[in-house]
C-alpha cells in the first residue's frame, strides 16, 4: 500500500471558508489542537466571492430592526421550513459575530455617523447587510486569516512552533471520514500537488466544505463546489436534509457564453436597480405572490419612494426573495419577452449617477466592462437565473452543529442543512458561517476534550487501505473492469452530469424529467466506475476530476430523488405539475441516507440507485416564536393541526 503520512490532532476542520476558519479559531481558542484542510490555496475559498454583505440586525441604519424581525424575515424567506431554532440562534447572535469581526480587524463601510453601514437586500425588512463595497467575503476571509496568523504567533511565543496548535494543510482534498465503530476517528485525503496520501487522526471532525453548484451547468459557484462534504457525511452514515432545495439566483450573467452564470450581486437591486423585459416593462409588479402582497409596493412610484422614505412606503418587488424573482425572470423569457441573449434587463444606469455606481458597485462595474464590454453606468445588464446555493445539507443539531447519528462529526456553513428552510435570504449565509462555525468549533473542541470513555478513537488500517485503493482506482480503470468497455474521460462525465441536472432538475421541475434524470444518473454512475486517467499522481487535474465524480453523483441523486418526492412548490423547489405550496408539506422533512446501510456504493444497480429517502416530521415551532407572527400570516403556511396545537 502507498505511503501515508499520519498525524494526530484533536479537531480536524475540513474547509477553510468562513465557516471552517471560524470553527478552527474557536476550537483552538478553547484549547484544542486544530488542523484545517482545504482543497484550494489558503485564503481562496468560495467565501471570498461573496459580494453583498453579512445580514445582522444591528439596527445601525433603521433602529426598528432587531433579532425578532430578522427571525421573521428568515422564516418567511424559507417558507417556514427552516429549522426554527437555528433561525432563532442565527438572528440573535449575528450582530455579535459582526462586531467581533471588527475587533479582529475587519474594515466595514460606515454610515455618516461612523457606525457599520447596512444595506437593503431581498426579503429583509430593514437595511441589514454589513458590507465592504461589493467585496464583503474577501474582507471576511482576510480578517479570519489574520486571526489564524495571530493565534499561530501566540503559539510560537509559547512553544517555538507556529503550527503546534493550529495548522493549515492547503491544497489537500479529503476523500473519506474514518470511523472507529460509530464514532469519528479522523480523515483520509491526498495532497493535490504531490499526490501523497495523508491521514489526520482526531476524535472530532468539522465539515465546512460549502455547496454543490458544480453539479449544474450554469452556476455562480467555483470549481471547489462538488458536494464533497455532503458526500463525506453521507458515506460516514449521517443523513442529508431536504436536498431538493437548490437556490437559483435570479441574476447571473447570460453573455458571453464563457462567463454564463457568474453572479450579478443582489446589491444592484438593493441599491435601486430595476428589472425590465424587452418591452421596457418593470415586470416584477405582475409577480408578487399572495403571501407577500401586503409587504410590497403596488406601483413604480411607491417602490421608488421607498428608497428615500421606507417608513411610509412599501419596498419594490425587485426585492422579493430570490426564488420569486428567479421564477419571474424565467417566465418572462419563456413568454418571449427576454433580452437578446436569453435573459432580462437589469438597469442601474438610469437610477444612479455614474460615480455612485462605480463607488458602490466597483466589482460589478469591472466585471461587466472586462468580461462583456458593457458599461453599467450607461447601459443595462443582461441577466438570468444561475444555480447559486444549496439549502439542503447535513442534518445537524441546531445548538451544537453535531451531525445526526455520527458522534464526533460536526457541520457548519453551506454544507449544513436546516437553517434556511426552502430558500435562503441574501446575506444570511455569511452570518450563518460565523454563528454556526463558532458553535461547531466550540462543541467539536469540547467533544475532543471530554471523549466519553476518555480514550481516543483508533484509526482502522483496513479503512485507510480501502480509502487509498478507492483513490487510486482511476489509474487502473482499464484493468479493473475490462468487460465493461473502454475507460471513460472524467471531463466528459462531468459535462454530461452538469447538463443533466441543469436540463432535468433545474429551476422548473417536472416528474417525467426527474425520472429521466435518475436514469441518466444511473448510467453515469456505471460509466464513472471506468473513469480513467493517465500519468502520475503529481498535480493531475484529470485524477482530481475523476475523484470528484463520486461526490457529484451522490449529491445529484439526492437532489433528484427528493425533488421527485416533494409534490409541491416551495422556495427553491418549483414543480410545474404541483405549482402551489401545500401546507401539509410544511410538516415534512426529507432525509437522504445511503441505500446500502453497510456504507457500500451500489454503483452497478441502476434501478435501486445509491440513495434511500425517508420522510420525517418537522419539529413544531416554539409557541413564543410563533407569537411573533400574525395569525392571518400563519394560516398561509401552517397546517390546521399545527395551528390548533
| Residue 345 near residue 275, CB atoms below 8 Å | yes
Q: Which three cell numbers stand for residue 573?
A: 423547489
Q: Does 46 bind ligand FAD (CB under 6 A)?
A: yes
The piece of 207-215, 320-328, 366-374, 467-475 that touches ligand FAD (CB under 6 A) is 207-215
Whichever of 136 and 610 has its CB closer to ligand FAD, that residue is 136
Identified binder of ligand FAD from the candidate list 15, 43, 77, 474, rule CB under 6 A: 15
366 is catalytic: no
Identified binder of ligand FAD from the candidate list 11, 13, 19, 380, rule CB under 6 A: 19
Q: How many CA atoms lie within 13 A of 635 on its CB side?
A: 4
Concatenating the DSSP letter of every residue in 528-596 gives HTTB---S-STT-HHHHHHHHHHHHHHHHHHHHHHHHH--S-BTTB-BSSS-S--GGGGGEEEEEEESS
Identified binder of ligand FAD from the candidate list 11, 12, 13, 18, rule CB under 6 A: 18
Concatenating the DSSP letter of every residue in 205-228 gives EEE-----GGGSSSBS--TT-S-H
CB count, 10 Å around CB of 92?
A: 16
Q: Does 214 bind ligand FAD (CB under 6 A)?
A: no
Concatenating the DSSP letter of every residue in 598-638 gives TS---TT-TTT-SEEEEEEEPPPPPHHHHTTS-HHHHHHHS
Quote the least distance from Cβ 450 to ligand FAD, whole Å: 26
Q: Does 430 bind ligand FAD (CB under 6 A)?
A: yes
Whichever of 263 and 497 has its CB closer to ligand FAD, that residue is 263
**Cα distance between residue 64 and residue 87, in whole Å:** 19
Identified binder of ligand FAD from the candidate list 125, 228, 324, 557, rule CB under 6 A: 228
Query: What are the strands of the beta sheet with 246-253, ordered from one edge?
Result: 246-253, 381-390, 344-347, 274-276
Q: What are the φ/ψ torsions at residue 198 (nearest 5 degrees)?
A: -140, 150
| Residue 27 near residue 404, CB atoms below 8 Å | no
CB count, 10 Å around CB of 143?
A: 21
46 is catalytic: no
Q: Does 429 bind ligand FAD (CB under 6 A)?
A: yes
Identified binder of ligand FAD from the candidate list 29, 65, 93, 224, rule CB under 6 A: 224
Q: What are the φ/ψ torsions at residue 563 (nearest 5 degrees)?
A: -65, -35
Quote the least distance from Cβ 252 to ligand FAD, whole Å: 9
Concatenating the DSSP letter of every residue in 159-177 gives HS-TTSSEEEE-SEEEEEE
What is the contact mask toward ligand FAD in residues 47 to 86, using x (rule: CB under 6 A)?
x-xxxxx---------------------------------
Q: Taking CB positions, which residue lies at the least distance from ligand FAD? A: 17
**Cα distance between residue 225 and residue 235, in whole Å:** 18
Strand partners, 100: none
Q: How many CA atoms lie within 13 A of 494 on its CB side?
A: 20
The piece of 8-16, 102-110, 335-343, 522-530 that touches ligand FAD (CB under 6 A) is 8-16
| Residue 238 near residue 395, CB atoms below 8 Å | yes
What is the contact mask toward ligand FAD in residues 379 to 408, using x (rule: CB under 6 A)?
----------x-------------------
**Cα distance between residue 213 and residue 220, in whole Å:** 7
What is the contact mask toward ligand FAD in residues 167 to 186, using x (rule: CB under 6 A)?
------xx------------
Q: Which residues ranging from 253 to 312 are in contact with ligand FAD (CB under 6 A)?
A: 263
Whichever of 168 and 374 has its CB closer to ligand FAD, that residue is 168
**Cα distance between residue 484 and residue 494, in whole Å:** 19
What is the contact mask toward ligand FAD in residues 490 to 529, using x (rule: CB under 6 A)?
----------------------------------------
Q: Does 14 bind ligand FAD (CB under 6 A)?
A: yes
**Cα distance between residue 320 and residue 244, in whole Å:** 21
Catalytic member of 76, 176, 269, 583: 269
Bridging pattern class, strands 393-394 and 197-201: unpaired
Identified binder of ligand FAD from the candidate list 34, 40, 204, 556, rule CB under 6 A: 40
Q: Does 37 bind ligand FAD (CB under 6 A)?
A: yes
The piece of 1-9, 36-44, 458-466, 523-531 that touches ligand FAD (CB under 6 A) is 36-44
Q: Does 97 bind ligand FAD (CB under 6 A)?
A: no
Q: Does 137 bind ligand FAD (CB under 6 A)?
A: yes
The piece of 233-241, 328-336, 362-370, 420-428 that touches ligand FAD (CB under 6 A) is 420-428
Q: Does 231 bind ligand FAD (CB under 6 A)?
A: no
Whichever of 389 and 475 has its CB closer to ligand FAD, that residue is 389
Q: Does 414 bind ligand FAD (CB under 6 A)?
A: yes
CA distance from start to end of the chain: 60
The piece of 1-9, 87-95, 202-210, 492-500 that touches ligand FAD (CB under 6 A) is 202-210
| Residue 217 near residue 393, CB atoms below 8 Å | no
Interface ranges with ligand FAD (CB under 6 A): 14-20, 37-40, 45-47, 49-53, 136-137, 173-174, 208-210, 220-221, 224, 228, 263, 389, 413-415, 426-430, 433
Residues annotated as catalytic (active site), given as ranges:
249, 269
Amino acid at each position: 500500500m502507498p505511503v501515508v503520512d499520519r498525524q494526530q490532532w484533536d479537531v480536524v476542520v475540513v474547509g477553510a471558508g468562513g465557516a471552517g476558519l471560524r470553527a478552527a479559531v474557536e476550537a483552538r481558542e478553547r484549547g484544542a489542537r486544530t488542523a484545517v484542510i482545504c482543497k484550494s490555496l489558503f485564503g481562496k475559498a468560495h467565501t471570498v466571492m461573496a459580494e453583498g454583505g453579512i445580514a445582522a440586525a444591528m439596527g445601525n441604519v433603521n433602529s426598528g430592526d432587531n433579532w425578532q424581525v430578522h427571525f421573521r424575515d428568515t422564516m418567511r424567506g424559507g417558507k417556514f421550513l427552516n429549522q426554527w431554532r437555528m433561525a432563532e440562534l442565527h438572528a440573535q447572535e449575528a450582530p455579535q459575530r459582526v462586531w467581533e469581526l471588527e475587533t479582529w480587524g475587519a474594515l466595514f463601510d460606515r454610515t455618516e455617523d461612523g457606525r457599520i453601514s447596512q444595506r437593503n437586500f431581498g426579503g429583509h425588512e430593514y437595511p441589514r447587510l454589513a458590507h465592504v463595497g461589493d467585496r464583503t467575503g474577501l474582507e471576511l476571509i482576510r480578517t479570519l486569516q489574520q486571526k489564524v496568523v495571530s493565534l499561530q504567533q501566540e503559539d510560537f511565543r509559547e512553544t517555538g512552533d507556529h503550527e503546534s496548535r493550529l495548522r493549515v494543510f492547503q491544497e489537500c482534498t479529503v476523500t473519506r471520514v474514518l470511523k472507529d465503530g460509530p464514532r469519528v476517528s479522523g480523515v483520509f485525503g491526498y495532497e493535490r500537488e504531490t499526490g501523497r496520501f495523508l491521514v489526520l487522526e482526531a476524535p472530532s471532525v468539522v465539515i465546512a466544505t460549502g455547496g454543490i453548484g458544480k453539479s449544474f451547468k450554469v452556476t455562480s459557484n467555483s470549481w471547489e463546489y462538488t458536494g464533497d462534504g455532503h458526500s463525506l457525511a453521507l458515506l460516514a452514515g449521517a443523513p442529508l436534509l431536504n436536498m431538493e432545495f437548490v437556490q437559483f439566483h435570479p441574476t447571473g450573467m447570460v453573455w458571453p457564453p464563457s462567463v454564463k452564470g457568474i453572479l450579478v450581486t443582489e446589491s444592484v437591486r438593493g441599491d435601486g436597480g430595476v428589472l425590465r423585459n424587452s418591452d421596457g416593462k418593470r415586470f416584477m409588479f405582475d409577480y408578487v405572490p399572495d403571501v407577500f402582497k401586503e409587504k410590497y409596493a403596488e406601483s413604480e412610484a411607491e417602490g421608488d419612494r421607498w428608497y428615500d422614505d421606507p417608513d411610509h412606503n412599501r419596498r419594490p418587488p425587485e426585492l422579493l426573495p430570490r426564488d420569486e424573482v428567479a421564477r419571474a425572470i424565467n417566465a418572462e423569457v419563456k413568454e418571449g419577452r427576454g433580452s437578446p441573449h436569453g435573459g432580462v434587463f437589469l438597469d442601474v444606469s438610469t437610477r444612479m449617477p455614474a460615480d455612485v455606481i462605480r463607488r458602490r458597485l466597483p466589482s460589478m462595474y469591472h466585471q461587466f466592462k472586462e468580461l462583456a464590454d458593457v458599461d453599467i453606468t450607461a447601459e443595462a445588464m443582461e441577466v438570468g437565473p444561475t444555480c447559486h446555493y444549496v439549502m439542503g445539507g447535513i442534518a445537524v443539531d441546531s445548538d451544537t452543529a453535531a451531525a445526526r447519528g455520527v458522534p464526533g462529526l460536526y457541520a457548519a456553513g453551506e454544507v449544513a442543512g436546516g437553517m434556511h428552510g426552502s430558500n435562503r435570504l441574501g446575506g444570511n449565509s455569511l452570518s450563518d458561517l460565523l454563528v454556526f462555525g463558532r458553535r461547531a468549533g466550540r462543541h467539536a473542541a469540547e467533544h475532543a476534550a471530554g471523549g466519553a470513555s476518555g480514550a481516543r478513537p483508533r484509526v482502522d488500517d483496513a479503512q485507510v487501505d480501502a480509502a487509498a485503493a478507492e483513490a487510486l482506482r482511476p489509474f487502473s480503470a482499464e484493468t479493473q473492469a475490462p468487460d465493461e468497455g473502454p475507460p471513460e474521460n472524467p471531463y466528459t462525465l462531468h459535462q454530461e452530469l452538469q447538463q443533466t441536472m441543469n436540463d432535468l432538475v433545474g429551476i422548473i421541475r417536472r416528474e417525467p424529467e426527474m425520472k429521466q434524470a435518475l436514469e441518466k444518473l444511473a448510467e453515469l454512475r456505471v460509466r464513472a466506475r471506468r473513469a480513467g486517467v493517465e500519468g502520475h499522481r503529481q498535480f493531475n487535474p484529470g485524477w482530481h476530476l475523476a475523484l470528484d465524480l463520486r461526490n457529484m453523483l451522490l449529491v445529484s441523486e439526492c437532489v433528484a430523488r427528493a425533488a421527485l418526492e416533494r409534490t409541491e412548490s416551495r422556495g427553491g423547489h418549483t414543480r410545474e405539475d404541483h405549482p402551489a405550496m401545500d401546507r401539509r408539506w410544511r410538516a415534512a422533512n426529507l432525509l437522504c441516507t445511503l441505500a446500502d446501510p453497510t456504507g457500500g456504493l451500489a454503483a452497478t444497480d441502476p434501478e435501486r440507485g445509491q440513495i434511500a429517502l425517508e420522510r420525517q416530521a418537522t419539529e413544531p415551532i416554539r409557541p413564543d416564536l410563533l407569537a411573533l407572527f400574525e395569525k392571518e400570516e400563519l394560516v398561509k403556511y401552517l397546517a390546521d393541526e399545527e395551528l390548533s396545537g
